[in-house]
Amino acid sequence: MDFNDTADEAKFRAEVRSWLEANAKPKSAIGFSAENPRYQRNETEALKVAKAWQAKKAAKGYARITWPKEMGGLGGTPMQQVVYNQEESKFDVPSGFFEIGLGMCIPTVTHYASKGVAARFVKPALYGEEIWCQLFSEPSAGSDVAGLRTRAERDGDDWVINGQKIWTSGAHYSDYGILLTRTDPNVQKHSGLTMFYLSMKSPGVEVRPIKQMSGGANFNEVFFTNVRIPDSQRLGNVGEGWKVALTTLMHERLAVGGGQGGTGPDIRELLSLARDTELEDGPAIRNASVRERIAEWYVRGQGLKYTTYRTLTALSKGQVPGPEASIAKVVVAPRMQDLSAFAMDVEDMGGVMTGEESALHGAFQQSYMWAPGLRIAGGTDEILKNIIAERVLGLPGDMRVDKDVPYNKLPTGR
Amino acid sequence: MNFDFSDDQKMLRDQARKFLTEKCPPKTVRKVLESDGQYDQALWKQICEMGWTGTAIPEAYGGLGLGHLELCVIAEEMGRVLAPVPFASSVYLATEALLIAGTEEQKKKYLPKLAAGELIGTLALAEGAHPPSPRTIKTTFKGGKLDGVKTPVADGEVADFAVVLARSSDGAGERSLSLAVVDLKGSGVSRRAVKTIDPSRGHAEITFKGASAEALGPAGEGWDLARRVLDRAAVLMAFEQVGGADACLAMAKDYALNRYAFGRQIGSFQAIKHKLAEMYVWNELARSNAFFGAWALSTNAPELPEAAAGARISATDAFHFASKENIQTHGGMGFTWELDCHLYYRRSKQLSLALGASRVWKDRLVNHLEKKNVA
């Protein structure tokens, strides 16, 4: 057992690091802080910076390490992608705008569209010139996404789209999207779906930001009113949209993380808060109940970190990671929520205050307000537990009352 | 990154699993549980013959000279089958104490016999229903004689010798304690079995009245040494706990697949699926923390105290959760004497207390975090 790179990994790490050093600035010590300028830029400005950085990465082949060279990647291994992510996470560079496009949409388009179409879209996406979004979820189709209602009706060489999508990350700055629609409501719900790609500038597409409970607006509603999509923009066969969607989601799962450190305040910040906060009987760090909770979250966090190490070990050996990789999000999100709530308890009556003038610039307050979303986005805690139970443990699927029932005969509730 | 056991170590684990599945079915555990046998002598003999007791003992002292990683994979399998033998007491505690604190002479005297299974050792810390500490230890070790009462001592009735934490000077400071090694068959030692929640592992009360003993390690360093032994044992025991927790999940899963209610497998109900998924999550976190402990133990890393605490806290939580929810998954049947769920429930609590409760380990962990100046 060791935590060392193999010779090849060490060589690649050195290459990556020297390139990053020449092209970016190291992160300041406090990663999460609002002092970090990237949290203060407005989105238009942030997008501009991100596109410039993406173009630089793409020119070097680092935008998608595992893609073959002919697609503009580096033809590297998943482990090399991890090494790159680890190194990049130490630098103050933008992230986040291109992951959906490159991680899910482009692989789907490449898989199902003609070579010419794929060639048209790959490079602009890789260089950050065009951004993609994923239009799957709907107000009535969240965890049960195959229950979606957005209609696509054939009209000559076109399809006419009417309906609404929701929770679409980045729709407001996206150029293209992949869109899952219902083309046949008379058959079982999974069988009547068809996938398309479309320009987000198409007439009849309207994007409205959703104001979240945390105050921000990271997601959108997207409305489709008589939007025309040529049949040439169909991905996969009519009625096989579910199969195409599974390809997309499979790519989502294959996208391996590996950057260290989360996005919110964690044990380091909790310890610092406990040191600086005077309780009725002395500093919080000396209080037994505070210490016990710190230890519990620390152990849980370390457990995740070492689970990642196990996954990386498999990748490093060229193996498929074991099922333990599936536990991360179901631990991370509730932990963030409870840890933040407890940190606010340490501040007692003052814990209600947030913003720049409050303790740690309100980092725990912000993460308390963000955590409920994290427990839902990208698979709710409940769906993730179903996945572990069924795919890892081999327990039976739930009884499906919608099985063998045509979509348009399903009860819909309110 | 190579954060995994080697192929050889995995092969050893597979052999251990095969052997123990065959030789230590639940009825072997029950036999000890339902009698006053203290441990299963036939099983113990075979384990000793294979040399598992000497896994981490250097060849120079009659051991296999493998290492602690090998011991970890064996420990996991011992935990999986709830092996009713004095392995933890003799190997994780007594052997480790001698390895880190013994003189050359003491090592030569004890280690070959521990490796061969000719001697069973144990560690005697507790003095009743409160945590042992420099403030509370009353047993004395003065002028080569031990006086006092230690209880409960795991495997105390069957052990040949014990490493005892005792007061060697007045005062309540850490430096007032020393370790002593004492022949439990010698004069001035009396012992009797004590009743515990897990009779598949014997425990005793041991009374010393002027029993001759020799110092283990320098005088005044008993508390520090005891904690170092506990750190090492915590990693090994964490693997036992992970093995036990894994067995609970397997039992619960098997039952959930084969028990039908309301016309369907109970494993198709989300209430059961989510419960089992949570077991899996806690078990994997515990396993990963135990891996880090194994790395720290096997490399003598400065991170060992922190890694040991993490492994212990995580494994204790996982085994507790898995053993209680395994009973719950089995419903009324889980509460019967006949089913094996209670064997794991008993052992999970026994192991969680054996090296000190989580409360104490959590406090120590934060001490280390403060020292490391993580903030």
CA distances (Å), A53 to each of A62, A64, A129, A259, in order? 11, 13, 11, 18
User: Tell me, what's the pLDDT at B229?
Assistant: 98
Residues of B in contact with A389 (CB under 8 A): 267, 273-274, 276-277
Instruction: Return the bridge partners of A155, or none.
Output: A158
A125-149 pLDDT tens trace: 999 999 999 999 999 999 999 999 9
Is pLDDT at A215 greater than 50 in this prediction?
A: yes
Task: State how far residue B37 is from chain A, nearest Cα, in angstroms.
Answer: 37
Is the dihedral angle over the CA atoms B151, B153, B154, B160 positive or is it negative?
negative
A354 vs A37, residue with greater confidence = A354
CA distance B90 to B71: 13
CA distance A185 to A407: 5
> Options 2.40.100.10, 1.20.140.10, 3.40.630.10, 3.40.50.2000; which CATH number does A267-379 get?
1.20.140.10
Size of interface A-B (CB pairs under 8 A): 166
Give the pLDDT band (50/70/90) at residue A257.
very low
Catalytic residues of A: 252
Touching check for B292 and chain A: CB below 8 Å?
A: yes
Contact yes or no for A309 and B3 at CB 8 A: yes
Task: Give the relative orientation of helices A328-346 and B270-299 as an angle to the nearest 10 degrees.
Answer: 80
Q: What are the boundaries of each domain within chain A?
A: 7-95, 132-253, 267-379
Under 8 Å between Cβ of B358 and A255: no
Strand-pair category, B161-167 with B121-124: parallel
Please say whether the structural domain A132-253 has been given the CATH code 2.40.110.10: yes
User: Tell me, what's the pLDDT at A258?
Assistant: 38
Residues 332-391 of A with CB under 8 A from B: 382, 384-386, 388-390
CATH of domain B122-219: 2.40.110.10
Average pLDDT over residues A65-73: 93
Contact yes or no for A298 and B288 at CB 8 A: no
- Could you list the pLDDT tens digit for every one of the 375 residues in chain B? 889 999 999 999 999 999 999 999 999 999 999 997 789 999 999 999 999 999 999 999 999 999 999 999 999 999 999 999 999 999 999 999 999 999 999 999 999 999 999 999 999 999 999 999 999 999 999 999 999 999 999 999 999 999 999 999 988 899 999 999 999 999 999 999 999 999 999 999 999 999 999 999 999 999 999 999 999 999 999 999 999 999 999 999 999 999 999 999 999 999 999 999 999 999 999 999 999 999 999 999 999 999 999 999 999 999 999 999 999 999 999 999 999 999 999 999 999 999 999 999 999 999 999 988 654
User: Tell me, what's the pLDDT at A254?
Assistant: 56
Choose among B270, B313, B370: nearest Cβ to A285: B370
Q: What are the boundaries of each domain within chain B?
A: 7-118, 122-219, 224-372
Touching check for A245 and chain B: CB below 8 Å?
A: no
Contact yes or no for B1 and A313 at CB 8 A: yes
Is pLDDT at A31 greater than 80 in this prediction?
A: no
Closest to B238 (Cα-Cα) out of A330, A332, A299: A299
Class level of CATH domain B224-372: mainly alpha
Where is average pLDDT lowest: A253-257, A387-391, B101-105, B124-128?
Answer: A253-257
Give the pLDDT band (50/70/90) at residue A247.
confident
Instruction: Return the bridge partners of A228, or none.
Output: A160
- From B273, which residue of chain A is nearest by alpha-carbon distance? A389
Touching check for B277 and chain A: CB below 8 Å?
A: yes
Mean pLDDT of chain A: 90
pTM, rounded to two decimals: 0.93
Touching check for A309 and chain B: CB below 8 Å?
A: yes
Give the pLDDT band (50/70/90) at residue A41.
low
Contact yes or no for A324 and B284 at CB 8 A: yes
The number of residues in chain A equals 414
CA distances (Å), B239 to each of A276, B23, B77, B326, in order? 37, 20, 8, 19
Choose among B285, B309, B375: nearest Cβ to A300: B285
User: Tell me, what's the pLDDT at A33?
Assistant: 44
Where is average pLDDT lowest: A207-216, A219-228, B103-112, B338-347?
Answer: A207-216
Contact yes or no for B274 and A294 at CB 8 A: no
CA distances (Å), A388 to each of A18, A280, A327, A376, B168, in order? 40, 44, 8, 16, 54
- From A390, which residue of chain B is nearest by alpha-carbon distance? B273
- Upper half-sphere CA count for residue A291 (Cβ side, 13 Å): 18
- From A308, which residue of chain B is nearest by alpha-carbon distance? B288
Q: Domain B7-118, what architecture? A: Orthogonal Bundle (1.10)
Residues of A in contact with B270 (CB under 8 A): 382, 385-386, 398
ipTM for the predicted complex comes to 0.94
Closest to B145 (Cα-Cα) out of B97, B178, B98, B170: B178
Give the pLDDT band (50/70/90) at residue A255.
low
Backbone angles phi, psi at B80, to 5 degrees: -60, -35
Residues of A in contact with B369 (CB under 8 A): 267, 271, 294, 298
Touching check for B370 and chain A: CB below 8 Å?
A: yes
Q: How far is CA B128 from the centre of its chain?
A: 19
Contact yes or no for A1 and B5 at CB 8 A: yes
